[in-house]
């Protein structure tokens, strides 16, 4: 072989090696792109673990706390499509103590927030955080829970005699429909859902938060908020986590993931994890799956048909909250440090 032919052969070999390296680099980049991004959200000095989700607006709401200066306590609205904080609001007036469950709801096809103080519910726009309206409950010592359903607001509170009460307001008129309903024994937290067995009824179930009371109370209303009846259910305690939706046949509660059947709330024998440790969980919109985070750096997935374990997704993070948006699982994570850096990651479910 002539010297010139040797040079041509060497050139071909070098070009082939370069092409191989390019293909390898592209494959590596593809794997990196498939790895969930850990996006920095914001930095705060103190934080409340409760977070709220506005799926329509692609917004997550979190609460920054300041024990030294209450005026520094803020509601933070983070848009996870834009990947930026879009609004903040001072919330020194609102109650950020343990046990109080702020919430979101839909009214006139828009998302709004219900922030709770001792005796007032402040209704804020989910987009601008502007105050739209408020409801004052004169005999309330502390309001614990508000849920929105079918144009109605279901409100659980302790009165000044420390009795736990449940009342119902019309969201449009802000008029009281029903009051003086006996709820649970202490600091009642509620779930509200449409009755699958009777489409003309709404169910509201109240669970005690800080009590050894063994019972929950299931209240039945018509679609206009008129009271029909009540029934007694079981309560095992085990923490304030509480989740259901209209399509699920169960209510999920507490750090063990205890399952309460909607057909018989005295049936609370099934638990998802004998070791407990659930930090947060959500039920898929169709009611078919449960997604949980716990102290093991995983997202655990359960079949809601028989509550069997399906699979885990390793996330290697200190997950604090989980939300579902379509085919994505949104995970909020942070370490308790000073300051606290808050991150958001997403995973395909």
The model carries a pTM of 0.86
Whether 154 contacts 190, CB under 8 Å: yes
Give the CA-trace dihedral at 73, 61, 335, 297, to 10 degrees. Answer: 160
Q: Say whether 33 sits in a helix, a strand or coil.
A: helix
Note the pLDDT tens digit of each residue in 259-290: 999 999 999 889 998 888 999 999 999 999 99
Whether 333 is covered by a domain: the verdict is no
User: Rounded to an integer, what distance in angstroms lies between the CA atom of residue 51 and that of residue 283?
Assistant: 16
Whether 1 is covered by a domain: the verdict is yes
Whether 155 is covered by a domain: the verdict is no
Residue 97, pLDDT score: 56
Per-residue b/e over 26-37, b at no fewer than 16 CB within 10 Å? eeeeeeeeeebe
Whether 29 is covered by a domain: the verdict is yes
Per-residue pLDDT averaged across 96-111, rounded? 83
Whether 10 is covered by a domain: the verdict is yes
Whether 19 is covered by a domain: the verdict is yes
Note the pLDDT tens digit of each residue in 169-223: 999 999 999 777 876 656 678 999 999 999 999 999 999 876 677 889 999 999 9
Write a three-state SS string for 43-100: EECCEEEEEEEECCCCEEEEEECCCCCHHHCEEEEEECCCCEEEEEEECCCCCCCCCC
Give the structural domain span for 31.
Answer: 1-35
Note the pLDDT tens digit of each residue in 33-54: 234 568 999 999 888 889 999 9
Whether 246 is covered by a domain: the verdict is no
Q: Is 150 left (phi over 0), alpha (psi -120 to 50) or beta?
A: left
Whether 347 is covered by a domain: the verdict is no
Per-residue pLDDT averaged across 26-32, rounded? 29
Residue 283, pLDDT score: 98
Per cent of the chain over pLDDT 70 is: 84
Note the pLDDT tens digit of each residue in 246-259: 999 999 999 999 99
Residue 296, pLDDT score: 86
For 124, half-sphere exposure in the C-beta direction (CA atoms, 13 angstrom radius) is: 26
Residue 249, pLDDT score: 96
Q: Is 140 left (phi over 0), alpha (psi -120 to 50) or beta?
A: beta
- Split into its structural domains, the chain has a count of 1
pLDDT at 161 over 50: yes
């Amino acid at each position: 072989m002539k010297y010139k032919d040797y040079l041509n052969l060497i050139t071909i070999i070098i070009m082939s090696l370069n092409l191989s390296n390019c293909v390898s680099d592209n494959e590596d980049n593809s794997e990196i792109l498939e790895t969930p991004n850990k996006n920095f959200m914001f930095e705060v000095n103190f934080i409340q673990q409760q977070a709220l989700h506005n799926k329509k607006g692609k917004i997550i709401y979190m609460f920054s706390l300041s024990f030294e200066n209450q005026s520094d306590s803020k509601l933070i609205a983070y848009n996870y499509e834009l990947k930026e904080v879009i609004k903040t609001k001072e919330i020194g007036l609102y109650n950020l103590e343990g046990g109080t469950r702020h919430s979101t709801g839909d009214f006139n096809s828009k998302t709004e927030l219900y922030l709770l103080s001792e005796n007032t519910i402040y209704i804020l726009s989910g987009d601008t955080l502007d105050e739209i309206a408020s409801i004052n409950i004169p005999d309330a010592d502390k309001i614990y829970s508000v849920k929105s359903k079918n144009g109605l607001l279901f409100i659980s509170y302790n009165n000044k005699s420390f009795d736990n009460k449940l009342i119902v307001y019309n969201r449009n008129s802000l008029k009281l429909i029903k009051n003086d309903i006996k709820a649970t024994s202490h600091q009642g937290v509620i779930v509200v859902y449409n009755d699958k067995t009777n489409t003309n009824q709404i169910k509201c179930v109240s669970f005690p938060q800080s009590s050894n009371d063994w019972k929950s109370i299931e209240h039945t209303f018509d679609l206009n908020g008129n009271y029909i009846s009540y029934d007694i259910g079981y309560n095992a305690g085990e923490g304030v986590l509480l989740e259901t939706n209209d399509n699920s046949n169960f209510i999920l509660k507490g750090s063990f993931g205890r399952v309460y059947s909607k057909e018989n709330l005295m049936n609370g024998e099934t638990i998802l994890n004998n070791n407990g440790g659930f930090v947060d969980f959500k039920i898929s919109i169709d009611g078919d799956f449960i997604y949980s985070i716990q102290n093991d750096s995983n997202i655990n997935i359960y079949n809601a048909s028989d509550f069997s374990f399906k699979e885990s997704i390793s996330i290697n993070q200190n997950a604090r909250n989980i939300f579902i948006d379509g085919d994505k699982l949104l995970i909020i994570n942070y370490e308790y440090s000073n300051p606290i850096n808050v991150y958001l990651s997403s995973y395909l479910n």
